[in-house]
Structure formats: structure tokens, C-alpha cells
Amino acid sequence: MAIQLLRADLQSLRHYAAATGLIFYPCAVSMGLMLWSTPNTALLARFGVAAFFCLAFSLGLALTGRALPFKLVRRLYGGLLLLLLGVYTFSLGFHYRLYGQLFGVPTLYSILESTSTEASEYLRSVTRPDVLGFAVVLVIPLLFATRPLQGWFAGSARYRLFNGLVGVSLLVGTAWFTLPKPNLQSHNPWLFIYKGVEESLAQRTLIKSAYANIYRGTPISAHANSAETVTHILVIGESTTSRHMSLYGYGRQTTPRLDSMRDSLNIVADACSSRGNTTEALKEMLSFATRERPELLFQRPNLIQLMNSAGFRTYWLSNQQKVGNSDSWSEILSSSANERAFVNRRGWTDGISLDDVLLPELTRVLGDSASRRFIVMHLLGTHTAYALRYPSSFKKFDSQQDIPSEVLRQNTGLRRLSINSPVAQFNDYDNAVLYNDHIVASILAAVKGMLRASVTYLSDHGEALGEVDGFVTHVDGPAPKQVYQIPMFFFTTPQFSTDASSEIQALQQNLGKPFQSDQLIHTLLDLYGIVHPYPQPERSLASRQFTAVSRFCDTLTAAR
């Protein structure tokens, strides 16, 4: 009798393991697709933790289903579970084959925002045999599991109360720990959909409210003082501090391509962001809002609106999310652009969307028929997690060489985001800067042969790597000065420099003066020769009247 009970218990354990494995299957597919597309040791460490919690949640679902009363209820539970797993896995494969990325909050947001007509038109346009075939292949293992899984849930259950208590405890405990951590819940289909839909609905409310308050005043009166064909590109970097660029004297050669172009660049020697996070920085870079007068964001037109009024065709090309916890203002500020392309559908928490995906988009835009173009390119740059921001071919720095020893002593990990050591952090960040150099230089190369063109590059804010008191990452508020120190430079073709000689001369005279990024809109409008109702020449680097202002970053402590 005891042997029979033991055998029955072992059989139950095998069934539990099989049921848990099947429920875990979409999580494994999600992680497997990412590792297949971009093998990365940083992902392996993240996935180990995420897989543990996804397995625990899957076991909770299996135990809870086994504890339900009545055979019919358990059978329905098993069938619904399989149906949802199949739909999710199919959608995952379909999206991945189509875009080369897993879906994220922007995908859910787009689904919620789409009408039935838009959705059907979209599906007709993207459905291809290879896409459908790939998605179906991923679902096949679940089809083979239908009968045994249904039989398991339909069978009589021993220890029902115990199963229920443990199952619910696992579900609640795992969800409580996982939901606040995007890199953990993003691979769990149940928690991802719950959290993603919740966030998408919140984003929709926020964005609609912002749309209602964005400038809708009197018709915008702006015009260009020249009708010549011209292209202007504004490249906005992410989390890149000038302190880690050899272009600014950093000990490691992290910007070799830009270094070689130094003589053709007008480099701002001392630039700081007005804010320490992306959302607030973008608001003040692309509008007349400042740290002191944030309300001007809603009282005056933004840069895109002014360029539209001046007769330019405007474009927004972004490798950041369209929406998300810290991305919604990208959607709002870009809404006035004539064309938009958001190529990152996963985000930055654990997704890999390298910035070179923007280069084909730039080539496409430069090949259109518009005579006057204004293009904003928003990079993912050197955002955390740093190891996910560059391909393996750019892994140049992998030792402690050239890292100041006093920095490593200070970097105690008190606020470190990465599980890596301080040495690995510095190496990953510098490799990301090296790749960023490649991207920005490639953008410059794309316009170098044009007759009239300009490229302006700056980062939204900087980043701290533990150089002061072990502080790592960025924050909008008191922080090490590195969080605000940013690179900024201008590239102009010879003919454009001749046409705008007065502005270029003024710019070159002001390159050594302290600059804050909430003065950017004045600088660009003057450089581009845009006449508008809100001139403030004292805030423009392209004006001889430019006057340095008191900056927030000058109140902060910088590393030696």
C-alpha cells in the first residue's frame, strides 16, 4: 500500500512538473528569442532571475487549477489556460518575426488605440507566409500538450486544500515581488499583459490630458529667411556624459570617429542639461520652457510646430518607446511631426534595440522629395543597462586599464543598478559610448556630401558611474555633476556655413561659454534662420548677444 501511494505521489510530481513546464513555455520562448537574436551575457544573468519567478508563477497556476472543485470546472480552467497560452505564443512569434523584437507596452498601447478598421487593414498589410509559419511553429508544442494537460486538470485531485493554499500563495507572492520590476514581469505573459494594459490605459489618459493643454493658441507665425533647399538634423542622445568621451579629454579612446572629425565640428566646451531625466529634459530642449518657467511649454509653440510653420517637412525618428513610464512626452512632443517612426517596441529595461536601426530610416527620409527638412533623431544611446546598448563587435574595453583607482574605491555600489562590478560597469558604459560614437559619426557621414545641411548633437542628460560617493545612474535633482554634464556639437556643410556666416561666427565665439540645454530652441532657431515671435538672442549660442546664465549643474559636486 505504501509503495502504491509513493508511486502515486511520484506520478503526481511528474504531472505537476509537466503542467508547470507547459505554462512556463511562453516565458521560455520569450527569453529564447531574445538570446537567439542577440546573444548577450548580461541577458543571461537577468533571465536567470526572471525565469525563476516565471516558473514559480507557473507552478502557482498549475496548483491552483488542480485545487478547483468539480471536474468540469478544472477542465474548463485547463482549456482556457491552453487557449491563452497559444494566443500569446502565436502573437509573440508573429510580432518577433515581423519586427525582430518582442512586444512591449507600445504594442499594447497601439492595440488599445486602434479601431477595428485600422487593425484589420494593418493585419492585411503585414500578414505574410513566413510570419504566419514562424508563429505557428512556436505554437505546435502546445498543441501536442492539449490532451495530457486537460486530462491532468480533469482528473481527481488529492490534497486539494494544500494545493490551493500553496498555489494562491505562489501567485500572490510572485506577483507582489515581480510587478514593480519591469525586467522580471515583462516575460511573464499573465503579469505582462495585466501591467501593460494598466500602464497603457494610464498613458492614454495622461497623453490625452497633455494634448488638451499643449499649445493651441493663435496661429503660429514663423518663416525662414531663406528659401534654399536645406536639411537640419537634431540628434538627441541618451544618458551620455561628456566625461566619458575622448572628444572631451577622457583617458580612454571612446570616440575615435568623432575625434578624427574634430576640425569639422563646433564643439561646445561646457554644456549641461537643465534636467537629470529624459522627460523633463525633452520638454525644455524642444520648447521655450525652462527650469524657472516650465509653464511656457503650454503657452508657446514647440520647436516642431515652429519648423512646420516655417515651411519645413518635419520628421521624428526614435529608438525610444512611443509610450511608457518615462516616455510619454516623446509621443506628445513628436505629435506635430509630419512623419514619425518609433522603431523600439520593447523599451530599455531588458530589450535590445540597437541604434543602428535608425540609420535605414534616416536614409529613407533623406531620399524623399522635400526641399526643406527638419529631422529629430532620438537615440537610446548609453541608457542602462549599458551592456545591452552595443553589439559584441564593440566590446573593446574589458579590463581595469585606464579606470582611475580612486573612482573604483569610491564606487561601493551604494546606489548601483547593475549586478556587475564597478569595473564591468565602467567597461560596459565606455563600450556603449564607443558604439554611440559610431552611430553619431554615421549620421554625420550621411549628410556630409549634401550642399546645405546641419547636424546638432547633444544628450538629454549625463550619467554618473560611481565617481562621487558611489552614485550610479541619473536623477532629476541633486546628484553628482556628471548627471548633468553632456556633449554638444554642431556640424555644418561648407555651403550652409557660408549662407549662415553671421550665425556661425557668433556660435564659434560662444563655444567656450557655459551652456544649459533649455537654451537649445533659441540656438537652433537662430542657426536655422527662423524668424519667430519669441526671440531671445541672449539665450542663443548663434547670437553675439548670448549671455551665460546661472546653471543648476554648477551647484553640484564633480569628480576629480
Using CA atoms, how far apart are residues 481 and 554, in angstroms rounded to an integer?
Answer: 8
Q: What is the pLDDT of residue 256?
A: 98
Q: What is the pLDDT of residue 290?
A: 92
Amino acid at 331: E
Helix, strand, coil abundance in the chain, percent, nearest 5: 55, 10, 35
Using CA atoms, how far apart are residues 317 and 313, in angstroms rounded to an integer?
Answer: 13
Q: What is the pLDDT of residue 419?
A: 45
Using CA atoms, how far apart are residues 53 and 178, in angstroms rounded to an integer?
Answer: 7
Beta bridge partners of 236: 378, 458
Using CA atoms, how far apart are residues 180 and 330, in angstroms rounded to an integer?
Answer: 23
Q: What is the pLDDT of residue 505?
A: 97
Using CA atoms, how far apart are residues 332 and 297, in angstroms rounded to an integer?
Answer: 12
The cell numbers describing 222, all together, are 514663423
> Tens-digit pLDDT profile for the chain (560 aa)?
334 433 444 456 666 777 788 889 999 998 888 878 777 777 777 788 889 999 999 989 988 888 888 888 888 888 888 889 999 999 988 888 877 778 777 777 677 766 666 567 667 766 788 888 998 999 998 887 776 666 666 656 667 788 788 889 999 999 998 888 877 888 888 888 888 788 777 777 776 776 666 766 667 778 888 888 999 999 999 999 999 999 999 989 999 999 999 999 999 999 999 998 888 899 999 999 998 998 898 889 999 999 999 999 999 999 987 766 556 678 888 888 999 998 887 766 556 789 999 999 999 999 999 999 999 999 999 998 888 899 989 999 988 877 766 666 655 543 344 445 778 888 999 999 999 999 999 999 999 999 999 999 999 999 998 888 778 888 878 889 999 999 999 999 999 999 999 999 999 999 999 999 999 999 999 999 999 999 999 999 999 999 998 999 999 888 76
For 491, which DSSP code? E
Q: What is the pLDDT of residue 211?
A: 67
Beta bridge partners of 377: 235, 317
Beta bridge partners of 465: 472
Using CA atoms, how far apart are residues 221 and 104, in angstroms rounded to an integer?
Answer: 39
Residue 393, Cβ density class (10 Å: 0-12 exposed, 13-18 middle, ≥19 buried) = exposed
Amino acid at 149: L
Using CA atoms, how far apart are residues 528 and 530, in angstroms rounded to an integer?
Answer: 6
